[in-house]
Chains A and B, each alone.
Chain A
Amino acid sequence: AQTVTQSQPEMSVQEAETVTLSCTYDTSENNYYLFWYKQPPSRQMILVIRQEAYKQQNATENRFSVNFQKAAKSFSLKISDSQLGDTAMYFCAFMKYGSSNTGKLIFGQGTTLQVKP
């Protein structure tokens, strides 16, 4: 069974600075997807970024980038130039890859990020 662990329950960062959120996972699968979801106070889940395990290159989306270390089973999220609107809970999630995939996501416990002015 797959597990996802986020060991930082809470973090804070000053506006305009950079912050990194950690995520580790455990799986015996070779092909899979990893995601970071953002949940602001509105409670709406929003996809931030995704990474295919078979791709060496780290995914980037504007100010958001990941450091994907497949051998270490590590998938951290870096937020550059933090903005007040980045204040949210962030979830790391895992999805198996394959024709029998049912799209199920395995979530970590979440990290609450507060961006301070």
Chain B
Amino acid sequence: NAGVTQTPKFRVLKTGQSMTLLCAQDMNHEYMYWYRQDPGMGLRLIHYSVGEGTTAKGEVPDGYNVSRLKKQNFLLGLESAAPSQTSVYFCASSYSSTSGKPWGNEQFFGPGTRLTVL
């Protein structure tokens, strides 16, 4: 049981380049999330998904796109990277509100991806 994994762990991009971050979970969680962590700002939600084939915007969605084609995977895309997107990106997953699991169930986080845009 690997939990939540993220690929890659580190990446350096030039302004204007594109890339995709992959998140995978093996816990059969319905909900998945992408956060970014910046100094002094905590973690902020970029996009999230409440099920396969569905996505929604979070607090800071501009410049990012996401897809959830399979329940276990959640992809975060940067079409044209900008220096302001230099950050540490975290993926997380959890059970849904209708899963029968206790409310306030824990979000399980991946190890993060450190992205630098030059």
List chain A positions with a Cβ less than 8 A from chain B.
Answer: 4, 6, 9, 33, 35, 42-45, 47, 50, 52, 91, 95, 97-105, 107-110
Q: Taking A107-B42, A110-B42 as given, write out 13 further A-B residue pairs in contact, using a Cβ cutoff of 8 Å, ordered by the A residue number.
A: A9-B40, A44-B111, A44-B112, A45-B90, A45-B109, A50-B104, A52-B103, A95-B104, A99-B97, A103-B33, A105-B33, A107-B44, A109-B42
User: Does B13 have its Cβ within 8 Å of any Cβ on chain A?
Assistant: no
Known: A45-B90, A95-B104, A97-B104. A103 touches B97 (CB 8 A): yes
Asked if B31 and A103 sit within 8 Å, CB to CB, the answer is yes
| CB-contact partner of B111 in A9, A43, A91, A101, under 8 A | A43
The CA-CA distance from A108 to B42 in the complex, in Å, is 6
Q: Which of B93-113 contact A (CB under 8 A)?
A: 94, 96-98, 103-107, 109, 111-112
Determine whether the beta carbon of A33 is less than 8 Å from that of B104: yes
**What chain B residues lie within 8 Å of A105 (beta carbons)?**
33, 43, 45, 107
B42 in contact with A50 (CB, 8 Å): no
Number of A-B contacts (CB under 8 A): 64
* A109 nearest in chain B by CB position: B42
Chain B residues with Cβ below 8 Å from A47 are: 106-107
Interface centre among A45, A47, A97 (most CB of B within 10 A): A45
B56 within 8 A of A: yes
Nearest chain-B residue to A54 (Cβ)? B103
In the assembled complex, how far is the CB of residue A21 from the closest CB belonging to chain B, in whole angstroms? 14
Min CB distance, A103 to chain B, in Å? 5
Question: Would you call A104 and B103 a contact (CB within 8 A)?
Answer: no
Q: Contacts A101-B97, A103-B94, A109-B42 known; A33 to B103 CB distance under 8 Å?
A: yes
A103 to B106 CA separation, bound complex (whole angstroms)? 9
A50 to chain B: which residues have CB within 8 Å?
104, 106
